[in-house]
Structure 1
Amino acid sequence: MKTFCGRANTSTGAVDWVEESEEYDYHQEIARSCYADMLHDHDRNEKYYQGIRAAVARVKARGEQVIILDIGTGTGLLSMMAVTAGADFCYAVEVFKPMADAAQCIVKKNGFSDKIKIINKHSTDVTVGPDGDMQMKANVLITELFDTELIGEGALPSYEHAHHYLVQDGCEAVPHRATVYAQLVESEMLWNWAQLQPVEVEGARLVPPAEVGRCAGAHSVCDIQLSQVSPHSFTPLGPVCSMFSVDFSQPVNSTFQSHSSQFVARCGGRAQVVLSWWDLEMDPAGSIVCSMAPSWTYPEPETAPWRDHWMQSVYFLPVESKVAEGEELSLTVCHDDYSLWYGLQANRQPDPQTASPLPRPCCTCQAHLVWTRPRFGELNDQWRTESYVSALRSILREDSVCLGVSDGSLLPVFAHMLGAKKVYSFENSRMSKQVIEQILEANSMTGGVELLKSRPEQLTSSDLGGQQISVLMGEPYFSTSLLPWHSLFFWYCRTALTGLLRPDITVLPCSATLHVMAVEFQNLWRIRAPCGTCEGFDVTPMDEMVQRSLEFHESREAEPHPLWEYPCRALTQSTPVMTFDFTQCIPEQPIISEGSLPLTRIGRCHGVVLWMEYQLTEDIAVSAGLIQPVGDQGECEWSRHRKQGVYFLRSPWESSGDGRAALSYSFIFEPTSGDIKMDFSINPGDLLPSDS
């Protein structure tokens, strides 16, 4: 059965109506759910299996039947581990129907149907009794309800309910315990993700509004691959602190709690950021530990397990504060049933009986709701700002009438500071407009930039006071953009505005170029790799719908990833494959590009990276992808501000590196839809398919 779905087109700005099968959403959800990453996480699976075997053995040693409750079973892997370890019966709960259906298929294929019952419900809706979902309460509780913040997927309420209604008193639990760790640091790089910094333009200083500086910021956690944040980019002000633990074998309380850790500052500095992660102890003795600690905490960093379904967290303190070496400090963490937040106190240990609760961070300035954390980093990037200011300086005249087309951009403010006659700017939302107005007011520039509410296609000459635009500028940046070419919305705006532009219009950037490069990923390939077998269990035979969705996603679409967090090596040269001329309107005919990239380095080709480079003027360019030339061994340094596109090959290929084998490409830019259709294939030469 087919249905029509309306979708906002991020490139053209229009709403497209597309025909999809009724299973489309399931296809996408399964394809993007990263179950493959979890199933490839050998350390996680091994530690869970060890913990499950030990728990089953302890119950059997007491002469009891082993009844398992597995909450959040996913593929059913942990339930199959439990039965293999000797459990008598397992109730496996999975609320997401497509995944529950897949688990049912996998369990049946592996011969466990008689001992595993898949329950497609939220665990808080599961009932126990003769007519219930479970015939009896379980005496072993197995869960994988955790996210990067530990409790963000509702682990605490689920545990609380399970202990009240679904498991026996004194039950075994795998994992048995979780412990949250934190470290207070100073880091200019990370702090730039939280607060707007002053900017120097032509000897003038653009300062952030006081409201932004006082704001505690967005409450949502910043989850990243902390292993890719170099220890040289932050200064530890204190030791790694154990903040609190949760014993999952006992009744769990999901209400607000506060915990503090006292320490002496190791050195002086600015307390800005808290780095946080957690460990799982799979057994009561704490001898089986699955750690989320970043690699630089390991004596041998290369031995740290890699995973993407669980990462590490960065928390920004409400305000930065100076600390002195030797100063006694108290780091406090609070949590409700779904999230954590941190605060710092000096020179005293808080009394839990009298201390007032640490308020949850809440954005009051709007800026943290308008700009993402990478966007803050982009706005604070001094080199990038200097590039745009230099480009603007070279094209502006005293009689320039400028129009900015980007979301929450400072370019119009820079144009005003550089002396443009008149500056207009589109703002896509009320909040974004308010933030720019605050910046103008804080710098006594009220009225210096006129903020327009109309969409580009709705703009009239009267909105511009009868003037024609002589400079059209953009970064381009749009909050709705996901993939690199979605920023071509700037081109569609330029085309819609043609009647309001002077014949000799100057456009900044004047063009954009799509670049591609074949790469070998260090670890990212795992999130889309076939599952094969996992700890002795065949997890490949999902139902046809799930398998089709995975194939559709992997073989035909690129997906966005922040590659600075995911190291890779270049196997080909970086190659421009398509150029978009912003000085001209969008062409009526498709733009087509075909060619090949010789594989000139030895390695395993997992896929292709795609990114945009913007030519601001003839001699100034800004890259949203590679920011340094590729190293001699293929090392890549990527922009931290934008996500790059990644197209995973259906199967990895081994390159001998002699250049005889090549990756062929075909691109078609469709002007009517703004889509870029792409296809890649290997011209083998002496290239052989990889076994993994």
Structure 2
Amino acid sequence: MKIFCGRANPTTGAVEWVEEDEHYDYHQEIARSSYADMLHDTDRNEKYYMGIRAAVRRVKARGQKAIVLDIGTGTGLLSMMAVTAGADFCYGIEVFKPMADVAEKIVEKNGFSAKIKIINKHSTEVRVGPDGDMKGRANILITELFDTELIGEGALPSYEHAHKHLVQEEWEAVPHRATVYAQVVESKRMWSWNKLLPLRVLCKARNREISILPFSAMEKCPGAPSVYDIQINQVPQSDFKPLSDVISMFSLDFSKHVSSNLASHNVLFKPVTSGKTQVILSWWDIDMDPSGTIKCTMEPYWVSSTPHKTLWRDHWMQCVYFPPEEESIVQGESMCLTAHHDDYCLWYSIQRVRDGEDGNLPVAAVERPICKCQAHMLWNRSRFGELNDQQRMDQYMRALEKVLNPTSVCLCISDGSLLPVLAHCLGVDQVFTVEISSVSHGLMEKIFRANRLEDKIKVIEKRPELLTPVDLEHKKVSVLIGEPFFTTSLLPWHNLYFWYARTAVDGHLINNATILPQSASLYTMVVEFKDLWRIRSPCGTCEGFDVSAMDEMIKHSLNFRESQEAEPHPLWEYPCRSLSDPEKVMTFDFRQVVPEQVLSTEGSLKLIRDGDAHGAVLWMEYHLTEEISVNTGLLQILNEKGDCHWNPHRKQAVYFFRSILEPATVSSCPTDVTYSIEFNPKKGELAMNYKFLV
């Protein structure tokens, strides 16, 4: 059996369906999941264990057998905890078959097969009865169905069904309840992740300031329907101003019937200071027992009583929500924050409270945010932040000033780029820009129209290789520009699609045409992560249970392909230290067409700092001109410890060393890490390998 998976093709700039081996899901999806992170979450595991033991004791105190239903059992860890705590039998439900197979191996290896039954079904398909999946209903319900947004993995429908069909009339729940919290803040940085803001760029060539404005529908758009989940603990307090205290929005009691219907929860508050309502930060905690003495919390550092000891988790982070429009509020005035949710999503709205409404405020009917301007359909949060980066735009303006003049014929190839606006403002009358999709075409025309440039910039809705002289009005291009940025790119080198597009339009360029950027360099560096390494680290035993079958799966995955694959991660969210100096390992010259031969390089990175070498980071730097470059990776090594400052708008590539999975492979401290990197022009991909020298 073959499986087809979507993958970015850097040579075409498109997502294509690629035929994978039948074991693809088994080797790739689980290895790339958060299971290892969860198993390493000691606080989570300990709190679940305490809650499960307490629930079993309560059931036994009533003179009943403890029959456990564990929905989303994963590795079977919570089921094994239940049996160890004295449960008489446990049903572990896992819908993903490869994971269910692993759970069965782990349960068997730990000697629990007689008391734990793994059921490979969705919980809503489980049947109870003599011939069913479960012989009888359970009286203890254990779940780990939560994501960063709490309900995004379908917790509410699963609970609703379980309460009606799978548990007894009286049941214990672990967790017992969940509570959602919110805080209203003003943050210029976070607001820049949500809207295209007015940009003002200084044009020295024409001695004037250029303004680039969004169109009105974009300014009022409700935004993306999905939550923005990030490691909010990496955002310094200087980047936001709290406008409210922390607000407890609502709780869900899992020991009672739960509804997945649309609901809203009003909470009145008075702003602690005046400002603009730009962001609602949100998180949750769970009580493992009815008394709330066993608590697992996602609270950020500025809320915690021990801010320097906040726990790191990647499977549960914090949420950033945006109101449709920013609104000025005044300290002390009466406001209402409303949390809305359906069966899978959560969103917020804010309204003023008139005199006399304080005690009986009607729930505001606010629909789930859906993008109406099309920008949120094309640009992710990081892209909005990148387009709003004033310093970055100034760099592009300085570079364009060096290569453009009024007689230039300019062609831009980049998804949703503002460079054509800058080119026209520099006096270029012949500006063409390529947009591959009709949605992107429509979006850019709206932006150009808002800036009265609809007749000045011609948008061509075609793939670059399909351009004809007619599209370019029979003119030869003298300056080809790009950021480069393409929405299908996942890894840093995927934006080398610009090189392939440049090659495709070579016949439309004049001799010695200017290409901006003129080249790109690939950099690499060995790092020690503060926490990110945990997502690929072996678990071995967890709370005394052998879960090494999970490690075997991840190890098998990393050996599945000919070489390890790098993974995209936004490293501004994941602190790390450089253990080597950054090194330029490969350069791609856009002034020449893509070569036919493979590009390869070898070298070594000398370790100049002590630490655990968890992996190598790779990133691209684009050389716009000889003097001006844009770095998408390491911006600065901050101190002698090697702490790193990363570009916040792009993801970097992380190549985890096998020594994370096989610590015994490094018998003594390494002094160097050797690398071999190969770029295959036919596939547009990098193959890489790193080895320790001791």
Please, what TM-score do these two structures have when normalized by structure 1? 0.95
Cα displacement (A) at 1:263: 1.5
- C-alpha spacing 1:350/1:514, structure 2 compared with 1 (3 Å): farther
Letter in 2 for 1:458: L
State how far apart, in whole Å, the 2-side matches of 1:254 and 1:347 are: 28
Give deviations 1:529-585, integer Å, cap 9, x for gaps: 111110001101259766522543796110000000000000000111000001111
Superposed, 1:5-44 pairs within 5 Å as 8-13=8-13, 20-44=20-44
Q: What is aligned with 2:655?
A: 647
Are 2:533 and 1:496 aligned?
no
Superposed, 1:505-544 pairs within 5 Å as 505-542=513-550
Q: What is aligned with 2:82?
A: 82
Q: What is aligned with 1:673?
A: 683
State how far apart, in whole Å, the 2-side matches of 1:531 and 1:52 are: 21
Partner SS state of residue 278, structure 2 = strand
CA contact 1:599–1:659 (8 Å) conserved in 2: no
CA contact 1:604–1:654 (8 Å) conserved in 2: no
Q: What is aligned with 1:563?
A: 571
- C-alpha spacing 1:482/1:39, structure 2 compared with 1 (3 Å): same
Q: What is aligned with 1:592?
A: 600
- Root-mean-square deviation (CA), in Å? 2.1
CA contact 2:179–2:251 (8 Å) conserved in 1: yes
CA contact 1:13–1:489 (8 Å) conserved in 2: yes
Superposed, 1:47-446 pairs within 5 Å as 47-201=47-201, 202=203, 203-348=209-354, 349=357, 354-446=362-454
CA contact 1:665–1:680 (8 Å) conserved in 2: yes
Cα displacement (A) at 1:609: 0.5
Letter in 1 for 2:478: S
State how far apart, in whole Å, the 2-side matches of 1:270 and 1:615 are: 38
State how far apart, in whole Å, the 2-side matches of 1:2 and 1:207 are: 48
Cα displacement (A) at 1:233: 0.5
- C-alpha spacing 1:134/1:543, structure 2 compared with 1 (3 Å): farther
For these two proteins, the number of residue pairs brought into alignment is 683
Q: After the TM superposition, which of the residue ranges 521-530 and 353-362 deviates more from structure 2? A: 353-362
- C-alpha spacing 1:469/1:429, structure 2 compared with 1 (3 Å): same
State how far apart, in whole Å, the 1-side matches of 2:368 and 2:358 are: 17
Letter in 1 for 2:610: I
Cα displacement (A) at 1:421: 2.7
The percentage of counterpart residues that share the same residue type is: 59
Give deviations 1:469-506, integer Å, cap 9, x for gaps: 11101000000000000000000011111111111210
Unpaired runs of 5+ residues, structure 1, are: 685-692
Unpaired runs of 5+ residues, structure 2, are: 204-208
Letter in 1 for 2:280: V
Q: What is aligned with 2:692?
A: 682
State how far apart, in whole Å, the 2-side matches of 1:560 and 1:462 are: 39
Q: After the TM superposition, which of the residue ranges 291-300 and 660-669 deviates more from structure 2? A: 291-300
State how far apart, in whole Å, the 2-side matches of 1:545 and 1:363 are: 39
Cα displacement (A) at 1:296: 2.8
State how far apart, in whole Å, the 2-side matches of 1:12 and 1:355 are: 49
State how far apart, in whole Å, the 2-side matches of 1:496 and 1:543 are: 45
State how far apart, in whole Å, the 2-side matches of 1:97 and 1:507 are: 50
Q: What is aligned with 2:206?
A: none
CA contact 1:570–1:630 (8 Å) conserved in 2: no
CA contact 2:266–2:363 (8 Å) conserved in 1: no
Give deviations 1:373-405, integer Å, cap 9, x for gaps: 110000000000000011011110111001111
Cα displacement (A) at 1:285: 0.3
- C-alpha spacing 1:365/1:677, structure 2 compared with 1 (3 Å): same
State how far apart, in whole Å, the 2-side matches of 1:316 and 1:118 are: 41
Q: After the TM superposition, which of the residue ranges 320-329 and 269-278 deviates more from structure 2? A: 320-329
- C-alpha spacing 1:315/1:14, structure 2 compared with 1 (3 Å): closer
Cα displacement (A) at 1:318: 1.1
Are 2:489 and 1:481 aligned?
yes
Partner SS state of residue 297, structure 1 = coil
Give deviations 1:583-624, integer Å, cap 9, x for gaps: 111112111111001000011110000100000111111111
State how far apart, in whole Å, the 2-side matches of 1:121 and 1:18 are: 27
CA contact 1:555–1:648 (8 Å) conserved in 2: no
CA contact 1:330–1:344 (8 Å) conserved in 2: yes
* Alignment partner of 1:607 out of 599, 605, 615: 615
Q: What is aligned with 1:688?
A: none
Q: After the TM superposition, which of the residue ranges 532-541 and 354-363 deviates more from structure 2? A: 354-363
Partner SS state of residue 464, structure 1 = coil
State how far apart, in whole Å, the 2-side matches of 1:15 and 1:324 are: 48
Partner SS state of residue 645, structure 1 = strand
State how far apart, in whole Å, the 1-side matches of 2:278 and 2:462 are: 39
State how far apart, in whole Å, the 1-side matches of 2:216 and 2:643 are: 41
Partner SS state of residue 556, structure 1 = coil
State how far apart, in whole Å, the 2-side matches of 1:655 and 1:85 are: 37
Give deviations 1:438-464, integer Å, cap 9, x for gaps: 111111111211111121111112221
Q: What is aligned with 1:457?
A: 465
Q: After the TM superposition, which of the residue ranges 598-607 and 340-349 deviates more from structure 2? A: 340-349
State how far apart, in whole Å, the 2-side matches of 1:5 and 1:83 are: 39
- C-alpha spacing 1:636/1:242, structure 2 compared with 1 (3 Å): same
* Alignment partner of 2:672 out of 662, 665, 668: 662
Letter in 2 for 1:680: Y
- C-alpha spacing 1:618/1:316, structure 2 compared with 1 (3 Å): same
State how far apart, in whole Å, the 1-side matches of 2:533 and 2:310 are: 17
Letter in 1 for 2:370: C
Give deviations 1:166-198, integer Å, cap 9, x for gaps: 001220000000000000000000000011111
Q: What is aligned with 2:587?
A: 579
Partner SS state of residue 313, structure 2 = coil
Please, what TM-score do these two structures have when normalized by structure 2? 0.95
State how far apart, in whole Å, the 1-side matches of 2:617 and 2:544 are: 33
Letter in 2 for 1:102: V
- C-alpha spacing 1:240/1:353, structure 2 compared with 1 (3 Å): closer
